[in-house]
Chain A
Amino acid sequence: MSEKSGGRRFKRKLTPFLAHQMLFDYATDQLDPERKTAVEEFLETDQEGRTILANLKLALAYVDQLGRTTIDAGVLEQLKDAESPVSLGRRYSSWNQWPEPLRWSLSAIAISCVVAAFVALVPWNMLGGLFHFKSKPSDLVQVAEIPQNTIGDIEAAEEPVGSGDAAPEDEGSGDEEMGDEVSGGGATVAANTPNAAVPAAPPRTSPTPPAKAPVAIAVATPSAPVAIAPASPTPVATPPSASQQQEVVANEENSGTSPQDGKAKGYVYRAFMNLANIEDVAPQLTDAIRGLGGEKSGEVELGWKRGSGRYYHFALPEENEKKLLDKLQAYGPVRISKDPHPRVMPAGRVRFILWVESSQ
């Protein structure tokens, strides 16, 4: 407010406009001392200023009173409960802020979902089969290599040409499809040429046990479908590849669940023997089979000679199955596979296809 210039002190006089503008700060005591003095000096001579100041003091007291206004308690409670989607979201963004029943319910649902997902995703069939295999060993689980193409050729050759006047469907070998399937791996089977079969490649045999050889039963897994040449005069049997001779270990439960043949409800036993004295043993085998109630199936007689081997296709009472195996083992090692087949045998009867190969 004052200014020193050349040792003289000048007082700045407030204009009415400035003084009126400063009255609010004066009333609220926000002016520095010099300005405060200047305003007070101005007010001594200005009636309008004094009126404004009086009104300002009234207004200050008035707003203080307004600040003490009370509000209905009900209104305040309503206000405190006011929520918006955002505020609700913030409120419930923390797990601890959630109501306890809701937290328990969600926990229960989450656990249920986890359990359901576990039950749905775990391959119980595989695990069940695995555990069953380990915990309940069966006498039908030993692995063996079966030269399926040899048997398949013979079975195919057994089928009559133009089988329209052949045996009734139920009495046929019923092995047509299976012969195709087991010969698989690119082999071509002449299904209508029984006498034109080429001697099959000698099957690979396992070392012969000395006395009573163990029975090896394998379930052959059907391999890829095979193209059939119906008019081909001479079947060409290719040697079984490694994939064709894959060794599959399974029990009876699994044998009927071939993924390739969903209709295969029945089964057929395929047996293979490799004997040195086949000329002497073959008639005995025929007698033994007949003695146990075996009856030929298909067209050819029991012990049909083909090449250096003998072919037996017969049905047998189920109760004599074990006796037959015992008799066969008396002659040498027997390898048996239980294959799925669409033909279902009558109850109490089982079907065998036995191939005896000369080892000489």
Chain B
Amino acid sequence: MITDEQARGIALFCLFTLMDEKTALAAAHKAVAAAKAASPRASRSPSDVALVTILRKTFDSHRKQLARNRPIEAPTRWSFPDGVDVEAWTKFHKDSSDGEIVSLVLAKILKFPEEAIAEGLGVSLGTLKYRLGKGMRQLGVALGRSQMARA
């Protein structure tokens, strides 16, 4: 069984990591189906670690379908909060590695526990923290530049 919150988290992960609406929807469908299959029982939800593992595999399989420097279009079926600078995320997406993007989305946007993320990604907690720090600095730089450009 998949809760609404888990389905929403899967959809957001696919959108923020893949940054392509069509691919993100297809990936989210597969991830939800895989999460249902990974549930220990039909009436129970998958664990955080299992969900992180599924999301990583989903990202890995769909990331290959997308060109690195493709033009990114704003999604239409996702509604960003007011005042959110999507350009900064797009810049961050181009400048950062896949590991940093995935770690940042899982830890800072979807708020998964760091231990579960590290186990699900198959990395140490230190590696995860390093990726998070580096990714946040890059995102901050992108945001700062965006603010300067607007000013």
CB-CB contacts of A7-22 with B at 8 A, as 1s and 0s? 0000000000000110
The reply to whether B79 and A91 form a contact with Cβ atoms under 8 Å apart is no
Choose from B83, B109, B129, B133 the contact partner of A63 (Cβ within 8 Å): B109
CB-CB contacts of B131-149 with A at 8 A, as 1s and 0s? 0110011011101100100
Report the separation of the CA atoms of residues A87 and B78 in the bound assembly, to the nearest whole angstrom.
27
Q: Contact size class for A?
A: 35 or more
Q: Tell me the smallest distance from the CB of A170 to a CB of chain B, in Å.
A: 81
Q: Which of B4-30 contact A (CB under 8 A)?
A: 4, 7-8, 10-12, 15-16, 25, 28-30
**Which residues of the partner chain B approach A74 to less than 8 Å between Cβ atoms?**
77
**Which residues of the partner chain B approach A90 to less than 8 Å between Cβ atoms?**
36-37, 39, 42
- CB of B104 closer than 8 Å to a CB of A: yes
User: Given A59-B136, A97-B42, are A69 and B141 also a contact pair (CB < 8 Å)?
Assistant: no
The reply to whether A71 and B78 form a contact with Cβ atoms under 8 Å apart is yes
Q: Tell me the smallest distance from the CB of B42 to a CB of chain A, in Å.
A: 5
Q: Contact size class for B?
A: 35 or more
Q: Tell me the smallest distance from the CB of B12 to a CB of chain A, in Å.
A: 6
The reply to whether B84 and A65 form a contact with Cβ atoms under 8 Å apart is yes
Report the separation of the CA atoms of residues A63 and B12 in the bound assembly, to the nearest whole angstrom.
12
**Which residues of the partner chain B approach A86 to less than 8 Å between Cβ atoms?**
33-34, 37
**Which residues of the partner chain A approach B143 to less than 8 Å between Cβ atoms?**
55, 58-59, 62
Choose from B4, B15, B28, B33 the contact partner of A83 (Cβ within 8 Å): B33
**Which residues of the partner chain A approach B137 to less than 8 Å between Cβ atoms?**
20, 23-24, 52, 55-56, 59
- CB of A109 closer than 8 Å to a CB of B: no
**Which residues of the partner chain A approach B89 to less than 8 Å between Cβ atoms?**
62, 66
- CB of A128 closer than 8 Å to a CB of B: no
Which residue of chain A is the closest to B4 with respect to CB atoms?
A76
A-B contact pairs, 28 of them (CB 8 A): A23-B133, A23-B137, A24-B136, A24-B137, A25-B129, A54-B140, A54-B144, A55-B137, A56-B137, A58-B147, A62-B88, A66-B80, A66-B109, A69-B78, A69-B79, A71-B8, A71-B11, A71-B12, A72-B78, A79-B2, A79-B10, A82-B30, A82-B32, A83-B36, A84-B37, A86-B37, A90-B42, A97-B42
Q: A71-B79, A79-B28, A91-B42 are in contact. List 16 more A-B contacts (CB 8 A).
A: A52-B137, A52-B140, A56-B140, A59-B139, A59-B143, A62-B89, A63-B108, A65-B80, A65-B83, A66-B81, A70-B79, A75-B11, A79-B32, A82-B28, A82-B32, A87-B37
